[in-house]
Structure 1
Amino acid sequence: MLEKGNRANTLHGILLIALFSFAAFYIAGFPFVKRLSLSPLIVGIVLGMLYANSLRNRLPETWVPGIRFCTKQVLRWGIILYGFRLTLTQVAAVGLPAVAVDLVVVAGTLLGGVALGRLLGIDRDTALMTSTGSAICGAAAVLGAEPVVRCEGYKTAVAVSTVVVFGTLSMFLYPVMYRTGLLGGMTDTEVAVYTGSTLHEVAHVAGAGNAMDPTDALGIAGVATITKMIRVMLLAPVLVVMSLLLAGRRRTPGGAEARGRIAVPWFAFGFLGVICLNSLLQYVCGAESVREIPLNGAVEYLDTFLLTMAMTALGTETSIDKFRQAGAKPFVLAGLLYVWLVVGGYFVTKGLVGMF
């Protein structure tokens, strides 16, 4: 992709995506965008989709390899560096209850999503991508699953869109349920674990947690975020299991499925390795939180930019025609999974947290 004869054109494509990503960061800083908790990743995919439906056919096709480089290599590095946001200390801080709830919620969402996808007649890749986004950590999980599932770019964009819709709804719904007493049967710890184990994005969890407990005096905001981070850690083992189950199956020209070599998601092991390295750095530096580790802020900013580039590049492959091709079924699937997260997650949290 970066061969000598094609290097200049490839760099042009990468530069185009980088410029869009800088614009996404700028727009994400607008006050009304911040209030909606729309990260640069989400703004980036919107910009990419706007480009796909306007200027996409007016720029040289020779730039396409650079755009695809961003959806592959840049994406993998973004997922690996995402591990610098997490430490093993976070798991110890909330203990076994949060881990148990996260495991049940993630497994239930993935298995239920695949089963519902079959009932709705949704293709396997779209169902799997949509379920992964709902189950683990929203857009970042969808991006992580893309190299393993190897689906078309528009299916990734559709999955991300479902995360944006239902995750944003949750961010406003949970504080309302808390204020109106609908969560009155839960302790503060249970509310925190419930929030962290069922909301889609880290930003959504932070927004809802702060709305319920602005000063973290009740511990809701902090524990909810840590519970969410434990859920993020499950991304690596889920990707490994997913790659083993898919076992390299690909469609042959005749339409039949052929079994090839297993696509080992090495970047998932890199993600886990970075978490362990970050935990060691926290211990060596004596940092109380992950944000106090030296250079952590700079690495997180770089990682967010890389993920924004990947998301923007995926957006450029997504036209309105492809959304029409996907239809409404993925959103129906995401809606059913959302009901499971809100209702099922409540009873799972009440049952498991009470056991420990």
Structure 2
Amino acid sequence: MSTPHLAVPHAAHESSMRGQLNGILFVALFAAAVTSVASLPAIAGLGMSPLIVGIVAGAIYGNALRDGMPASWAAGVNFSARKLLRIAVAFFGLRVSLQEIAQVGLSGFVESVVIVVSTLALGTWAGMKLMKLDRDTAILTAAGSAICGAAAVLAFESTLQSKPHKSAMAVGSVVLFGTLSMFLYPVLNRAGWLHLDTLGVGLFFGGTIHEVGQVVGAASNVSGEATHIATIVKMTRVMLLVPVLLALGMWINRAKKPAAHEAAHHAAKPRKLAVPWFAIGFLACVVVNSLHVLPETATHTVNLIDTFALTMAMTALGIETRVSQIREAGPRALLTGFILYVWLVVGGLGITWAVERLFA
């Protein structure tokens, strides 16, 4: 005998699933269009990766045309901006190998660690104390400048579980100051103001420029060897994403500990540890890439798919972003990014000089 009262929930569930799938498909088609736009010579020449173009295009759509999208698709957009990005960040590790990092030796590692730690600390402090930003916006802005631009913002956004507009502000800082570096650094080098040899140029460019593409674009104006060194140093910074995310997860978990007078009330409820498991996946992919388990063609194909998945995530974040939310903290977030940029140029140059002398 049938049970009609179960038919309605089942139909509602099927409708919800269809809506989510349609939302994911919509984001995928949007990301495909974004990828085509990003491949145009005028855009690619500016070092604008599909990730950056995706969040800009998504934000334009989200604020101008979002009302035209069926409400049931929102779940698919949210899936792309949350769960898909975790998977994509994990597979980003296939772009890094331990052998490449070893090529630049201890000097590249020390440069990367000092830049990442100091920039994260300065950005969080300046954002929260000087600019009065909320914790998440300050950390996201610092992460984008310290580690690997938009990809780091995505990874931190997932761990912090922050609002999409906060990620958009951080990515805006990456776009502005990273693009500026791509044009400014080669000019400073040609003018002789940096006083760096080829190794120093690689350390400085790779250690302080925001996006991988921006590093390559800037260093290619110097020499092939400088580009090689800069890219490896940059990927060393990417590797540091794992320990930093694990430390962030533990810090968040400690911050959520109940007060002493609430301990008894919460004792029976196990707290969820804020560990970014996709960071472990990232490290596993680095190991796989280092062992050369996969054929080069397979790794290349997975990296292409991964870039597309990250583009989907950024596009979805853009769709969920509201200009009104950005406007509230926009100038303060931009000033935080500017403070970090001055630090990366001036402080980063000083760190590079010190590292070169230390390992001369």
* TM-score, scaled to structure 2: 0.90
| Counterpart selection for 2:124 from 101, 114, 131 | 114
**Could you say which residue in structure 2 is the equivalent of 1:290?**
none
Structure 1 residue runs of 4 or more that deviate by more than 2 Å after TM superposition: 2-5, 248-252, 258-262
| Counterpart selection for 1:133 from 123, 138, 144 | 144
**Could you say which residue in structure 2 is the equivalent of 1:237?**
243
Post-superposition shift, 1:248?
6.8
**Could you say which residue in structure 2 is the equivalent of 1:176?**
187
Which range moves more in the overlay, 107-116 or 260-269? Answer: 260-269
Q: Does 1:49 align with 2:77?
A: no
**1: CA distance, partners of 2:122 / 2:255:** 21
Match of 1:239, as an amino acid?
L
Post-superposition shift, 1:261?
3.0
Q: Which has the higher helix share?
A: 2
* TM-score, scaled to structure 1: 0.91
Post-superposition shift, 1:326?
2.0
**2: CA distance, partners of 1:42 / 1:91:** 26
**Could you say which residue in structure 2 is the equivalent of 1:323?**
326
| Counterpart selection for 2:288 from 277, 288, 291 | 277
Residues 196 and 205 in structure 1, CA contact (< 8 A), matched pair in contact too:
yes
| Counterpart selection for 1:186 from 162, 173, 196 | 196
Q: Deviations over 1:21-63 (max 9, x none)?
A: 0001110111111111111111111110111111112222111
Q: Does 1:227 align with 2:233?
A: yes
Q: Deviations over 1:97-148 (max 9, x none)?
A: 0000100000000011111112221111100000000000000000011111
Match of 2:247, as an amino acid?
V
Post-superposition shift, 1:247?
1.2
| Counterpart selection for 1:268 from 279, 304, 321 | 279
Match of 2:299, as an amino acid?
N
Identity %: 43
**2: CA distance, partners of 1:64 / 1:326:** 25
**Could you say which residue in structure 2 is the equivalent of 1:39?**
49
**Whose Rg is larger?**
2
Q: Does 1:247 align with 2:253?
A: yes
**Could you say which residue in structure 1 is the equivalent of 2:311?**
308
Post-superposition shift, 1:325?
1.9
**Could you say which residue in structure 2 is the equivalent of 1:163?**
174
Residues 75 and 306 in structure 1, CA contact (< 8 A), matched pair in contact too:
yes
Match of 1:112, as an amino acid?
L
Query: How many residues end up aligned between the 2 structures?
Result: 337
Post-superposition shift, 1:18?
0.6
Post-superposition shift, 1:6?
1.7
| Counterpart selection for 1:15 from 6, 15, 25 | 25
Q: Deviations over 1:148-180 (max 9, x none)?
A: 111101001110011000000000000000111
**Could you say which residue in structure 1 is the equivalent of 2:5?**
none
Unpaired runs of 5+ in structure 2? Answer: 1-11, 259-265
